[in-house]
């Protein structure tokens, strides 16, 4: 008579080991997903660096055209004075300015590619509604970039230069001698500040659409926002109230326009 020997099932009674196996597979899948995301991020970063380097090299090659564009706000002063106004004070200044201007111009030229790579990395994790919101925000962002750049270059900068070098501050008979590098970067600084600050309404509108903030809360802190805008403009812009007002006043208007658009579209109701 043969006795039956009980055979132990692999994984325990009634398949008790299967959840552990599944957890192990899920952990391995999670690790693999993380590695794939990390590789994708690395690939995107390398692509962005290559594009920035290529754009900077292009800007370096066409430096004369770029510097002529940045120098143009000073032309009206030269006509008034009847001579050149910007001078280089050190041997290395021209070379250093050329490198800095080329790098900054390269970043500006590479911005669409940087944005494209960032969106390609983020979009798979967004819902369809969130993608539509981001795309609408991008359109508004590019419109504001174009408007703010034109406003800063053709309105704020020329008016600020004319105001600061006018007879109200410089006595008659006093000559003007400006440093080339410092004053070129005053133009660059004002352009960048104007463009960046004018993106704040787009970010606020996206937050309102996604109900992260409400219209009521934005109206409640409106007076403090106005004070903060003027304080930030005073810190970031050159030390003259013309530049500060030129940046702060449109920003205050855009802030309340953002709330009005949200009310029309019934965004940010909480």
pLDDT of 238 over the 80 cut: no
Is there a domain that residue 190 lies in?
yes
Q: Read off the pLDDT of residues 151-203 as tens digits, 9 standing for 90 and up.
A: 999 999 988 888 888 777 888 777 788 899 999 999 998 899 899 899 999 99
**Separation between Cα atoms, residue 178 and residue 161, nearest integer Å:** 12
Average pLDDT rounded to a whole number, residues 95-112: 93
Q: How high is the pLDDT of residue 173?
A: 76
Three-state secondary structure call for residue 151: helix
Expressed in angstroms, the distance from the first to the final Cα of the chain is 79
pLDDT of 229 over the 50 cut: yes
Q: Read off the pLDDT of residues 28-85 as tens digits, 9 standing for 90 and up.
A: 555 557 788 888 889 999 999 999 999 999 999 999 999 999 999 888 777 666 667 7
- Model confidence at 96, in pLDDT bands (50, 70, 90)? very high
* Boundaries of domain holding 69: 32-265
Is there a domain that residue 2 lies in?
no
More confident residue, 3 or 229: 229
Q: How high is the pLDDT of residue 171?
A: 84
More confident residue, 233 or 4: 233
51, 113 contact by CB (below 8 A): yes
- Model confidence at 268, in pLDDT bands (50, 70, 90)? confident
Is there a domain that residue 6 lies in?
no
pLDDT of 246 over the 70 cut: yes
Q: How high is the pLDDT of residue 165?
A: 82
Is there a domain that residue 171 lies in?
yes
Is there a domain that residue 8 lies in?
no
Q: How high is the pLDDT of residue 35?
A: 85
8, 84 contact by CB (below 8 A): no
Q: Where do runs of H (alpha helix) occur along 73-179?
A: 75-81, 93-122, 128-151, 157-164
For residue 255, give both structure tokens. 């802030």
Handedness of CA 60, 62, 64, 68 (dihedral sign): negative
- Model confidence at 224, in pLDDT bands (50, 70, 90)? very high
Is there a domain that residue 9 lies in?
no
- Residue whose token pair is 């949200």: 262
Q: Which residues lie closer than 8 Å to 20 by C-beta, 6 or more apart?
A: 11
Predicted TM-score (pTM) of the model is 0.78
Q: How high is the pLDDT of residue 239?
A: 76
| Buried-state track 27-62, b at ≥16 Cβ within 10 A, e below 16 | eeeeeeeeeeeeeeeeebeeebeebbeebbebbbee
Of 60, 52, 57, nearest to 117 by C-alpha is 52
Is there a domain that residue 5 lies in?
no
Number of domains in the chain: 1
Is there a domain that residue 11 lies in?
no
Q: Read off the pLDDT of residues 105-160 as tens digits, 9 standing for 90 and up.
A: 999 999 988 888 888 888 888 888 888 888 888 899 899 999 999 999 999 998 88
- Model confidence at 232, in pLDDT bands (50, 70, 90)? very high
Residue 86: CB atoms within 10 A of its CB come to: 17
């Amino acid at each position: 008579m043969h006795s039956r020997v009980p055979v132990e099932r692999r994984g325990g009674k009634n398949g008790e080991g299967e959840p552990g196996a599944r957890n192990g597979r899920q952990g391995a899948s999670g690790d693999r997903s993380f590695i794939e995301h990390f590789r994708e991020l690395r690939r995107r970063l390398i692509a962005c660096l290559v594009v920035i380097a290529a754009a900077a090299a292009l800007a370096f090659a066409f430096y004369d055209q770029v510097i002529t564009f940045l120098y143009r706000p000073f032309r009206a002063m030269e006509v008034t004075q009847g001579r050149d106004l910007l001078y280089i004070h050190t041997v290395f200044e021209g070379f250093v300015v050329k490198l800095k201007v080329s790098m900054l111009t390269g970043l500006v030229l590479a911005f669409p590619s940087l944005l494209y790579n960032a969106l390609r990395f983020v979009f798979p994790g967004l819902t369809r509604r969130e993608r539509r919101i981001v795309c609408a925000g991008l359109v508004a962002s590019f419109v504001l970039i174009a408007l703010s750049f034109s406003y800063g270059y053709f309105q704020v900068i020329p008016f600020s230069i004319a105001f600061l070098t006018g007879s109200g501050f410089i006595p008659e008979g006093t000559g003007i001698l400006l440093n080339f590098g410092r004053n070129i970067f005053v133009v660059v600084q004002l352009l960048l500040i104007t463009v960046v600050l004018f993106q704040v309404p787009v970010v606020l509108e996206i937050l309102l659409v996604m109900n992260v903030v409400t219209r009521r809360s934005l109206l409640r802190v409106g007076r403090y926002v106005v004070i903060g805008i003027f304080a930030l403009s005073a810190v970031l812009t050159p030390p003259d109230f013309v530049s500060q007002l030129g940046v702060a006043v449109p920003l205050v208007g855009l802030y309340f326009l953002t709330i009005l658009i949200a009310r029309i579209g019934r965004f940010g109701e909480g």
